[in-house]
């Protein structure tokens, strides 16, 4: 500017000075505005950074940044907390983090990381277990990230990502898998069938039971194969589906092509989506064919039994524990004179009335207590025309647990039997008395002839007289036995009860029976007897001993021994026993041993004769004296007849 005149230069500078000032002011204004915008942007960025930091700190995610070039990994505070430590940011080499990975997951994690670093995969995404700070606990982590920076040669320089704790999700997955496995196993082994329907009630899933798949030969296989539940089977039951509500025990009947009947018991619950809309049914079906067939057989059996009971001539009623008539037959209704509808459900007191119930109540209470009862009674028959004799049996009915659930009452009309017994007793009485007088004369006359009162009889005549005398004696004993048992049954025999020297009585009975030794080719043995005294009638008990000894001699083999003895029992009773060594008593005759006119058919016993009244008379005598009588099989063969009597004080 040396060549420019000074005035001119000054004039030029003064001319451009205002322009420069304006330009400078403009630049300063622009710079100020830029600074303000920058400050605003920085403030907004700071706020955004704070929001992100707060969000990350409040979330379960861990943020990590890996400086690959410098081998340094930064993790925010959530990482240490995730491992069970105090929260705080951390920075460490990648090797320290890899050392936390579970050995079973390490190879898979390393491969995924390598693929991401080399660019073979767009991002890193892996689930693996890491060890917590306590050294024993493992947590599942889902690590996601990608390479964010590469150098000029394309090598990875930096990577960033997140770690999420997925332990709870893994546990849920494992629990779900185990639940599915259990369900699958149950489905495989169950005899039930699993099925599903869609919202239109179309069958979409059907699982047949294990025994239809032929996989397990050891499982039981019913006679009928599992039927398939088809849409057509619902038929009349479709209304149940339309209600879209849970149902159970719905029985569906099917008929196979060959005409066999099968049954299914079906139950299901509705399936809905997340909005509560109906999406179908899920349920089970069980084959109940065997049960239904058993029910049919049971109903048929019950019908047959009811008809059998209904037409029995005996009155039958089942009484519950609260003494109400539950079941009865026609004969019972006729007996009590009430229509059937007035009997069922009513108490026995209401049916019989107060007076009749007072007679029945003790026996009913005994049966309800578990002990059978029996009694005889009279009451007006159907129509009240005549009185009938009834034998009433009450038998406790027990349930599966053994407790009494009620009583079966059986009333048998024994009027004709009673009348027959009365006619028989009357006939025996008349015949016995009518025979006794002429028989006495015949027996006396034959005795005189046999004694030589009219002179010596020829040998042939004497033999005939002896036979006639033996048979008259036998007939005399039979008439006396008939009269004895008739008197005892009627209660017309008086007993003279007194203390008896029982050892002496037994000795006399054995001595009195010596005549049987030659007749039956037996011997008698009196066993050692201690000094015993009993209360009884001497004559009647001698009759009992004679009957038992005669019975033993009759049924003993030739050369056999009949033993007689007595011993003291606990409770102040004296047991007397007579033993033979015969064949024993046939099983089919044991219940009739003490019945009048009963004789066992043991091959040769008929040749021994007898009326069959001796044991019946003995039982009557022993019973009247307050004792009991019975028999047992003897060790080594034979039979022991015994009777127990009250002990009398020993004389001092």
Asked, for residue 147, whether it belongs to a domain, the answer is yes
Q: How confident is the model at residue 429, as a pLDDT?
A: 67
Q: How confident is the model at residue 220, as a pLDDT?
A: 42
Same domain, yes or no: 388 and 454: no
**CA separation for the pair 288, 226 (Å, rounded):** 10
DSSP-assigned states of every residue in 317-385 = EEEETTSBEEEE-HHHHHHHT--GGGTTTSBHHHHH-HHHHHHHHHHHHHHHTT--EEEEEEEE-GGGS
DSSP-assigned states of every residue in 611-636 = -S-HHHHHHHHHHHTT-EEEEEEPTT
Q: How confident is the model at residue 9, as a pLDDT?
A: 64
Degrees, nearest 5: CA angle 49-55-58: 140
Q: How confident is the model at residue 293, as a pLDDT?
A: 86
- Return the residue matching tokens 């043991």: 602
Same domain, yes or no: 132 and 166: yes
Contact 281, 196 (CB under 8 A): yes
Tell me how many domains the chain contains.
Answer: 5
> Three-state DSSP class for 412?
strand
Same domain, yes or no: 616 and 473: no
> Three-state DSSP class for 303?
helix
Asked, for residue 41, whether it belongs to a domain, the answer is no
Q: How confident is the model at residue 422, as a pLDDT?
A: 74
Q: How confident is the model at residue 49, as a pLDDT?
A: 64
Helices 502-512 & 538-554 angle (0-180, nearest 10): 50
Asked, for residue 403, whether it belongs to a domain, the answer is yes
Q: What is the CATH number of the domain that holds 376?
A: 3.30.450.20
- pLDDT tens column, 568-590: 998 889 999 999 998 888 888 88
Asked, for residue 19, whether it belongs to a domain, the answer is no
Same domain, yes or no: 93 and 108: yes
For 308, the token pair is 């059998």
Q: Is 75 exposed, middle or buried (0-12, 13-18, 19+ CB in 10 A)?
A: buried
- pLDDT tens column, 147-204: 988 888 888 889 999 999 998 888 888 888 888 777 666 666 566 788 888 888 888 8
Same domain, yes or no: 546 and 468: no
If one counts every other C-beta atom within 10 angstroms of the C-beta of residue 350, the result is 16
Domain boundary among 172, 201, 226: 172
**CA separation for the pair 448, 442 (Å, rounded):** 10
Same domain, yes or no: 285 and 320: no
Q: What is the CATH number of the domain that holds 615?
A: 3.30.565.10
Q: How confident is the model at residue 52, as a pLDDT?
A: 61
**CA separation for the pair 198, 231 (Å, rounded):** 12
Q: Give me the average pLDDT of each 10-residue run along the chain (652 residues).
A: 63 72 79 81 72 62 88 89 87 91 92 88 90 92 90 88 90 85 67 82 72 44 50 78 90 80 88 91 86 88 81 86 89 85 89 89 92 86 70 89 89 80 70 67 72 75 73 68 68 80 91 82 89 89 89 90 92 92 88 79 52 82 91 92 88 55
Same domain, yes or no: 399 and 431: no
Same domain, yes or no: 87 and 209: no
- Provide the domain limits for residue 477: 418-489
Contact 510, 549 (CB under 8 A): yes
The residues, any chain, with a CB within 8 Å of residue 650's CB and separated by 6 or more, are 531, 532, 533
Same domain, yes or no: 69 and 164: yes
The residues, any chain, with a CB within 8 Å of residue 614's CB and separated by 6 or more, are 481, 547, 550, 551
Q: How confident is the model at residue 229, as a pLDDT?
A: 67
Asked, for residue 302, whether it belongs to a domain, the answer is no
Q: Is 228 exposed, middle or buried (0-12, 13-18, 19+ CB in 10 A)?
A: middle
Contact 625, 499 (CB under 8 A): no
Nearest residue to 123 via CA among 112, 107, 109: 112
Asked, for residue 31, whether it belongs to a domain, the answer is no
Domain boundary among 138, 172, 206: 172
Asked, for residue 368, whether it belongs to a domain, the answer is yes
Asked, for residue 214, whether it belongs to a domain, the answer is yes
Chain-centre distance of CA 312, in angstroms?
33
Q: What is the pTM of this model?
A: 0.41
Domain boundary among 396, 413, 430: 413
Same domain, yes or no: 155 and 270: no
DSSP 593: T
Same domain, yes or no: 502 and 625: yes
Same domain, yes or no: 622 and 555: yes
């Amino acid at each position: 500017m040396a060549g420019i005149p000074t005035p001119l230069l000054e004039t030029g500078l003064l001319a451009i000075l205002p322009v420069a000032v304006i330009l400078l002011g403009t630049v300063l204004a622009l710079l100020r505005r830029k600074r303000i915008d920058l400050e605003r942007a920085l403030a907004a960025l700071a706020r955004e950074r704070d929001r992100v930091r707060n969000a990350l700190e409040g979330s379960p995610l861990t943020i990590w940044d890996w400086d690959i070039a410098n081998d340094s990994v930064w993790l925010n505070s959530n990482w240490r907390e995730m491992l069970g430590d105090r929260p705080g940011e951390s920075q460490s080499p990648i090797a320290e983090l890899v050392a936390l990975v579970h050995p079973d997951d390490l190879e898979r994690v390393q491969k995924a990381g390598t693929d991401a670093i080399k660019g073979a995969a767009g991002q890193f995404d892996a689930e693996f277990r890491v060890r917590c700070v306590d050294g024993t606990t493992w947590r599942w982590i889902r690590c996601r990230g990608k390479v964010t920076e590469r150098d000029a040669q394309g090598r990875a320089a930096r990577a960033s990502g997140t770690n999420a704790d997925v332990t709870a999700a893994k546990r849920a997955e494992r629990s779900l898998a185990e639940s599915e496995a259990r369900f699958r196993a149950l489905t495989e082994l169950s005899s039930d069938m699993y099925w599903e329907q869609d919202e239109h009630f179309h069958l979409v899933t059907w699982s047949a039971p294990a025994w239809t798949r032929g996989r397990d030969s050891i499982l039981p296989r019913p006679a009928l194969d599992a039927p398939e539940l088809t849409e057509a089977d619902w038929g009349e039951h479709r209304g149940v589906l339309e209600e879209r509500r849970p149902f159970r025990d719905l029985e569906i009947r099917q008929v196979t092509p060959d005409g066999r009947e099968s049954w299914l018991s079906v139950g299901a619950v509705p399936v809905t989506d997340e909005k509560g809309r109906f999406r179908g049914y899920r349920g089970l079906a069980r084959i109940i064919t065997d049960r239904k067939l058993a029910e049919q057989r049971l109903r048929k059996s019950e019908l047959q039994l009811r008809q059998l009971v209904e037409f029995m001539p005996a009155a039958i009623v089942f009484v519950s524990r609260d003494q109400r008539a539950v079941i009865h037959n026609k004969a019972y209704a006729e007996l009590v004179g009430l229509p059937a509808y007035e009997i069922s459900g009513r108490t026995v007191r209401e049916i019989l009335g107060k007076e009749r119930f007072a007679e029945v109540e003790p026996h009913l209470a005994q049966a309800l207590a578990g002990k059978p009862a029996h009694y005889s009674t009279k009451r007006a028959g159907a129509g009240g025309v005549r009185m009938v004799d009834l034998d009433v049996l009450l038998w406790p009915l027990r349930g599966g647990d053994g407790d009494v659930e009620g009583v079966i009452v059986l009333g048998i009309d024994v009027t004709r039997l009673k009348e027959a017994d009365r006619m028989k007793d009357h006939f025996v009485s008349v015949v016995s008395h009518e025979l006794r007088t002429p028989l006495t004369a015949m027996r006396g006359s034959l005795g005189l002839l046999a004694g030589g009162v009219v002179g010596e009889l020829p040998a042939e005549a004497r033999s005939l007289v002896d036979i006639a005398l033996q048979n008259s004696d036998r007939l005399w004993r039979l008439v006396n036995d008939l009269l004895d048992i008739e008197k005892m049954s009627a209660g017309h025999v008086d007993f003279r009860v007194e203390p008896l020297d029982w050892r002496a009585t037994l000795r006399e009975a054995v001595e009195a029976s010596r005549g049987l030794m030659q007749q039956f080719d037996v011997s008698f043995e009196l066993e050692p007897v201690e000094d015993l005294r009993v209360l009884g009638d001497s004559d009647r008990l001698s009759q009992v001993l004679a009957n038992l000894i005669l019975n033993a001699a009759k049924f003993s083999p030739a050369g056999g021994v009949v033993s007689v003895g007595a011993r003291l029992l606990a409770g102040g009773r004296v047991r007397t026993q007579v033993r033979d060594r015969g064949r024993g008593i046939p099983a089919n005759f044991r219940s009739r041993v003490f019945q009048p006119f009963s004789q066992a058919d043991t091959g040769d016993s008929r040749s021994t004769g007898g009326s069959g009244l001796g044991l019946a008379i003995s039982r009557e005598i022993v019973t009247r004296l307050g004792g009991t009588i019975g028999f047992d099989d003897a060790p080594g063969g034979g039979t022991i007849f015994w009777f127990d009597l009250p002990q009398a004080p020993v004389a001092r």
